[in-house]
Structure 1
């Protein structure tokens, strides 16, 4: 059965918490490949991207599932409290990091260490203001994840009412979401959607992720049953996920041939219907890995490390695009001929570790809420211990979009 939520200001499912650092590592691996590997010439890189991009959908699925789980036994919703907590968890960090990345993108590359220089005059110009508004509206690089989550938060009260109102139709609603996802992917591959909705907008609309968001809500309402089914069929799930990954890789390889029909292409189409089975399977496999990590059979130290990784994973996600471009500049200036096979994994490890340390430190400062999405923690809690992490010293209401906050 799922881990029992603890009492207090937050309800936590340990195995769901354990999914968070794994998924953030997958997000970073995608960006490390994009920055450090030869995408235009390497079929291997394109294939690797096919198997790492599930992390975005996992982010949305877990966010939706855990939010719905926190309300599944609540018959009424205080909308004022609800939206306040959602803003604290996502809106505030989004605004803070949009400002940070706006200033960061004003940096100009130089040939000498530290390979960047800032021209502050450009920050406060009319063009600078226009660029900031654009970033705020569209989301800087990876921050569009939070735009989608905020759209979902707006719709969630109505969606929750809908799935409760039609409780006997949950299977039908889920099947409709699956069909929607597949048909949408086919339409995008034929550019039927792109004619009216540019690619950038497609990734930033909640309508592009029905199976992960709607499915997440429905599964949350039946989480006990779903959990038992997943545990019982773990081997089958892993095998089918590997098979679907193989299909995705094969289609990615065939992507070079013009005769391959557009709906079967996986490389250029992030919403390809052909990768939906793998994405779903990968999410469930990460869930199983989370169950494994927090099992009572694991050592207390390992479980404490997993909890610490979970606590800091949101800040790792938010800050990753500070570190990856810097690492790229260092690579280009010091070891320009290093193979991407070495550079990309190193970038993944370094980015995650630097982001982890950065988040752990910033979470103990007055700007913790805005920069890390967490309530401020005490300095004495910096070192992981063999018991559950302590609560925020300022009354935490949820660590980012993956947290389950009791209302």
Structure 2
């Protein structure tokens, strides 16, 4: 009988992290219509623009967390036989199958919505599947699948002292290089390409490999992180136009500033969210801060909510938008609540079914 393998302890407050991140994702999609609907330089436009733009940290936050959890859990498994096969079977299978299922669902719905035969052009579906364009949110799956493909090889590199010691710097350099190359060659759809997120993935990996030590560091630096988040968000939202206008004669400087500011915002948001989850979501603090079982369940089925909520928004906008024309802002808020709650209920129901993983993974 083989000796038991030491397993890292479960980080109990990560469900709260996932819950906040998925609420931000739903908010982005719910408020996007309002940003396009209201005239610029009006209070309503500025209000919804602020929240829509601020919550843009949500997808990087999920990638940061995925990296953290994978490196945290698999760091001790390199010596186990067959771990890489198990990893690919579990991660790729339970991600890829729901991705294909929902790509097909959204493809059919979008075709029917414009009065076209869904299966008349199978080539188009295959193309959308390959590009993650069957619906607006499905590009995320291409990123996560790319990450799963390269993860084992990055994990092997972390055993090399020259890589592990300066790991965050390698990821920063990798994303910067990709950014420069994209300016020159314009790869297109860079939001679906893994190199666009190397910084948050790299820092997530670093956190996963040095979790206890780095959490103590972040708790001491939490106010610095908060200042970085607020300033990064403010510059990203309101000063990017000024930067482009005044530095247009020095494009390299302009792009460097925008690159830096954007990544300061997204990375600090990930770290602040992790600190907040630890401060509020640990077992001894849960009753003090009134963290409920609802937020835990939101985090548990966040993947399912991510997949389902755009369908709820599609139905809402098709059936109920006219009823809220006179109170459009109220309709946006209610669409957010409906999308979050109905997708949560559906995900919880599917989780209880034996075949539910086909639609919401595991």
TM-score of the aligned structures, taking structure 2 as reference length:
0.84
Alignment length (residue pairs): 344
* 1:11 CA drift (Å): 6.2
Matched, 1:82 2:87: yes
Q: In structure 2, what is the equivalent of residue 275 of structure 1?
A: 262
Deviates further, 174-183 or 204-213 = 174-183
Deviates further, 346-355 or 290-299 = 290-299
Q: In structure 1, what is the equivalent of residue 192 of structure 2?
A: 204
* 1:60 CA drift (Å): 0.9
Aligned mate of 1:315, from 304, 313, 333: 304
Q: In structure 2, what is the equivalent of residue 69 of structure 1?
A: 72
How far apart are the structure 1 equivalents of 2:178 and 2:268? 20
Q: Say if 1:18 and 1:306, in contact at 8 Å, map to a contact too.
A: yes
Q: Say if 1:263 and 1:272, in contact at 8 Å, map to a contact too.
A: no
Residue by residue over 1:111-134, the C-alpha shift from the partner in whole angstroms, topping out at 9 and shown as x without a partner, is xxxxxxx76xx1232x2x122112
Q: Say if 2:247 and 2:253, in contact at 8 Å, map to a contact too.
A: yes
How far apart are the structure 2 equivalents of 1:294 and 1:276? 26
Q: In structure 2, what is the equivalent of residue 145 of structure 1?
A: 140
How far apart are the structure 1 equivalents of 2:247 and 2:328? 31
How far apart are the structure 1 equivalents of 2:91 and 2:113? 35
* 1:373 CA drift (Å): 1.4
How far apart are the structure 1 equivalents of 2:24 and 2:54? 9
Q: In structure 2, what is the equivalent of residue 154 of structure 1?
A: 149
Matched, 1:242 2:245: no
Instruction: List aligned pairs for 1:198-347, cutoff 5 A.
Output: 198=188, 200=189, 202-252=190-240, 254=242, 258-259=245-246, 261=248, 272-295=259-282, 296-299=284-287, 302-340=291-329, 342-347=330-335
* 1:287 CA drift (Å): 0.8
Q: Say if 2:97 and 2:358, in contact at 8 Å, map to a contact too.
A: yes
* 1:333 CA drift (Å): 2.3
Instruction: Please report the RMSD computed on the Cα atoms of aligned residues, expressed in angstroms.
Output: 3.0
Relative to structure 1, is the Cα distance of residues 32 and 81 closer, same or farther in structure 2, using a 3 angstrom cutoff?
Answer: same
Residue by residue over 1:126-146, the C-alpha shift from the partner in whole angstroms, topping out at 9 and shown as x without a partner, is x2x122112211113211111
Q: In structure 2, what is the equivalent of residue 100 of structure 1?
A: 105
Q: Say if 1:263 and 1:274, in contact at 8 Å, map to a contact too.
A: no
How far apart are the structure 1 equivalents of 2:66 and 2:34? 29
Secondary structure of the corresponding residue to residue 155 of structure 1: helix
Q: In structure 2, what is the equivalent of residue 134 of structure 1?
A: 127
Relative to structure 1, is the Cα distance of residues 273 and 240 closer, same or farther in structure 2, using a 3 angstrom cutoff?
Answer: closer
Q: In structure 2, what is the equivalent of residue 27 of structure 1?
A: 25
TM-score of the aligned structures, taking structure 1 as reference length:
0.76
Q: Say if 1:264 and 1:272, in contact at 8 Å, map to a contact too.
A: no
How far apart are the structure 2 equivalents of 1:55 and 1:24? 7
How far apart are the structure 2 equivalents of 1:220 and 1:364? 30
Relative to structure 1, is the Cα distance of residues 31 and 186 closer, same or farther in structure 2, using a 3 angstrom cutoff?
Answer: farther
Q: Say if 1:238 and 1:285, in contact at 8 Å, map to a contact too.
A: yes
Q: Say if 2:13 and 2:281, in contact at 8 Å, map to a contact too.
A: yes
How far apart are the structure 2 equivalents of 1:38 and 1:143? 21
Q: In structure 2, what is the equivalent of residue 192 of structure 1?
A: 184
How far apart are the structure 1 equivalents of 2:214 and 2:278? 13
How far apart are the structure 1 equivalents of 2:335 and 2:246? 36
* 1:9 CA drift (Å): 10
How far apart are the structure 2 equivalents of 1:217 and 1:359? 28
* 1:283 CA drift (Å): 0.7
Residue by residue over 1:234-287, the C-alpha shift from the partner in whole angstroms, topping out at 9 and shown as x without a partner, is 2222122112222223314637x7455367889xxxx84421101111111111
How far apart are the structure 1 equivalents of 2:361 and 2:60? 20
Q: Say if 2:16 and 2:277, in contact at 8 Å, map to a contact too.
A: yes
Aligned mate of 1:358, from 342, 346, 350: 346
How far apart are the structure 2 equivalents of 1:263 and 1:248? 17
How far apart are the structure 2 equivalents of 1:275 and 1:214? 16
Q: Say if 2:26 and 2:336, in contact at 8 Å, map to a contact too.
A: yes
How far apart are the structure 2 equivalents of 1:203 and 1:11? 33
Relative to structure 1, is the Cα distance of residues 319 and 92 closer, same or farther in structure 2, using a 3 angstrom cutoff?
Answer: same
Q: Say if 2:305 and 2:344, in contact at 8 Å, map to a contact too.
A: yes
Residue by residue over 1:173-201, the C-alpha shift from the partner in whole angstroms, topping out at 9 and shown as x without a partner, is 3123223334544665xx4241xx11x2x
